[in-house]
Amino acid sequence: MAPLRVAALESLTDHVVEDAVEEVGFDALTVGRRIRHHRQVRGLTLAQLGESVGAAQSQLSQVENGKREPRLSLITAIARALEVAPAELLDPAPPPGRRAALEIELDAAQRSPLARELGLTAVRSSRKLPTDALEALVELHRELARRHDASNATPEEARRANTEIRLLMRAVDNHLPEIEELAEDLVRSAGYTVGALTHRQVARMAADLGFSIIHVEDLPHSTRTVTDLANGRIYLPPASIPGGHGLRSLALQAIGHRVLGHERPASYTQFLRQRLEINYFAACCLLPRSAAVEFLSAAKADKDLAVEDFRDAFGVTHEAAAHRLTNLLTSHLGIPVHFLRVGDDGALYRGFENDGVPFPQDTSGAIEGQPVCRRWTARTVFAERNRTTENYQYTDTPAGTFWCSSQTGSSVDGGFSITVGVPYAHAKWFRGRDTRVRAVSTCPDGTCCRRPPGELVEKWAEAAWPSARLHAQTLAPLPSGRFPGVDDREVYSFLASHAPRD
C-alpha cells in the first residue's frame, strides 16, 4: 500500500478523500484499529457508535477487526461521530498503543509474500490472543524476514545482479555525467586545479561536508571505512605507507555515500549499484574529468595515449588509471574500449567492454570468475620478464582484431594483470601500436586453448589425480574437466613436464 500523505489530506473534502483512497487504497486493519482507538478515547461502546452512524454493532466490529472494508460514506460518518477528520482514520500509520501496532504488524507479516511462499498458518489477532504471544509472533516474523533478506544474495543472485549492472553501464559507455559533474564541483571548491588530488584537498572536501577524517587501528574486519553521522567523523585504517594512495580513494568513497545521498540499500542490486557509484565518484575526484580529458586529448593528438602516463600524471594505481579510461575514452574521445583485471589463475575478476571483445561468460551472462583465453594479452603478459613497462599485443578473435596493453602487478591475493584494449582501427592513437607481437584466439571454441592436446589426454587422462583448490574469492568456479574446479590442461602439462623421463 502506498503511504497516504496525511497532512495534505487533512484539509480535503470527503469527495477528494474518496478519490485519494480510490487511488492508493488503504489497509483495512489499520483503519479499523484507528477507529477503535478513537472510539475508546471518546468512551463509546460499539453499540453507541453504531447507533449514531446507523450501522449494526456486528458490522462495526468487523470493520474494527479489519474483516470488512468500510465504505467511504461510513468512514466519514464515523469520523463525524468521533469528531476527527476522515484523514485521521485513513492515516496508514498505526494508531497509538503498542497492542494495536503489534496487531497491524502481525497482520501485514502474515499477508507478506514470504509468509505465503512458506505457506504459514495465519493467526487472527483477536483480543483473545495474549499480548506476549502476539509479541512473540511478531518477533518471529521479523527474524524470519531478516534471515530471508540475509540469505538473498546467493552467489547465483550476486552474479545476476553483477551482470545486470554491467550491461547497464555498457549501455551508457561506462559514463555517469551527473557524478562527473558533482565530483568536478567538489574538487574545485577544495582547491584542485591540475594533476594529482592531494590528501589535503581530500580532507578539505570532507570538512566542507562537515566531516573530519580520523585514522584508527581497530576498524572492524568486515569494514573498509566507517562514518559516524552523529559526530561528523570518517574513520579510516592507518596509513601503512606515508602518502599512500589507497587512503584518498577510501576517504572519497566514504564521502561519496554522503554526497550521493545513499540510503541503506534495500537489495543486493542496490548495494552493488551504490558500490559502483562511490567507486565512480572516487575515480572522478582522483582523475577529474576536465583535467583528465585535456590530458588524454593531448596524448591522442600526439598519437601517444598510454595508461602508464595517465597513471603517473594523476598519481593513481595502474588499475585506477586503466579503469578511468573506460569512463572517458568513448564518451569524450570517441574510442570504444575494453578493460580487464585478470588473476594469475587466469580468471577474470573485473571487466568492461563496449568494443565487442568476446569476454568469457557463463550461461547466465556473468563474466566474473570466468577463465580468459590463454592467448589474450591479459594472460600472455604473465610470461613476460619485463614488468617495468606495459606489454602490447594484437590479438585476432572471432569478433575481429584487438590491440591490447597489459601490465602485471601483485597483491596479497596473488599476481594479476590489468589490460586496456581497443579495436584494431583505434590502435593508431596508442603508444605500442607498432608492436610485432600477434596472437590468434578462437575462444570460446574449446580447441583454442581449453582442451588438452590429444597426446596428453591419451597419456594422462587415466593417470592424473589432482586435488582441487577452491576459489573462494571468485563468484564462479573455474572450468571443470574430469575433476571439478581443476584445469585438466594445466594438470596434464604439469605432470608431463615433471614425469621421470623414460
Catalog residues that contact Zn ion under the rule CB under 5 A.
373, 441, 443, 448-449
Q: Which three cell numbers stand for residue 239?
A: 596509513
Of 298 and 440, nearer to Zn ion (C-beta) is 440
Q: Which three cell numbers stand for residue 167?
A: 550491461
The least CB distance from residue 361 to Zn ion, in Å, is 14
According to DSSP, the β-strands at 348-353 and 338-343 are antiparallel
Alpha-carbon distance 244 to 308, whole Å?
A: 18
Of 447 and 467, nearer to Zn ion (C-beta) is 447
The least CB distance from residue 405 to Zn ion, in Å, is 19
Q: What is the DSSP letter of 416?
A: E
The least CB distance from residue 369 to Zn ion, in Å, is 17
Residues 6+ apart with CB under 8 A from 452: 460, 481, 488, 489, 492, 493
Residues 6+ apart with CB under 8 A from 479: 371, 450, 487
Of 283 and 443, nearer to Zn ion (C-beta) is 443
The least CB distance from residue 396 to Zn ion, in Å, is 11
Alpha-carbon distance 213 to 227, whole Å?
A: 9
The least CB distance from residue 375 to Zn ion, in Å, is 5
The least CB distance from residue 446 to Zn ion, in Å, is 9
Alpha-carbon distance 206 to 209, whole Å?
A: 5
Of 144 and 448, nearer to Zn ion (C-beta) is 448
Judge whether 370 and 476 are in contact, CB under 8 Å.
Answer: yes
Taking alpha carbons only, the member of 372, 322, 385 closest to residue 345 is 372
Alpha-carbon distance 143 to 134, whole Å?
A: 14
Of 240 and 447, nearer to Zn ion (C-beta) is 447
The least CB distance from residue 429 to Zn ion, in Å, is 27
Of 35 and 342, nearer to Zn ion (C-beta) is 342
The least CB distance from residue 105 to Zn ion, in Å, is 56
Of 125 and 441, nearer to Zn ion (C-beta) is 441
Of 226 and 448, nearer to Zn ion (C-beta) is 448
DSSP track, 203-260: HHHHHHTT-EEEE-S---TT-S-EEETTTTEEEEPPPSSTT-THHHHHHHHHHHHHHT
Element (H, E) at 490: helix 488-498
The least CB distance from residue 399 to Zn ion, in Å, is 13
Of 284 and 449, nearer to Zn ion (C-beta) is 449
- Exposure class string for 32-50: b at 16+ Cβ within 10 A, else e: bbbbbbbbeeeebebeebb
Q: What sign does the dihedral 56-82-36-17 (CA atoms) show?
A: positive
- Exposure class string for 369-408: b at 16+ Cβ within 10 A, else e: bbbbbbbbbbbbbbebeeeeebbbbbbebeeeebbbbbbb
The least CB distance from residue 364 to Zn ion, in Å, is 21
The least CB distance from residue 366 to Zn ion, in Å, is 19
Element (H, E) at 392: strand 391-397
Of 214 and 440, nearer to Zn ion (C-beta) is 440
End-to-end, the C-alpha distance of the chain in Å comes to 78
DSSP track, 316-345: --HHHHHHHHHHHHHHHH----EEEEEETT
Of 227 and 442, nearer to Zn ion (C-beta) is 442
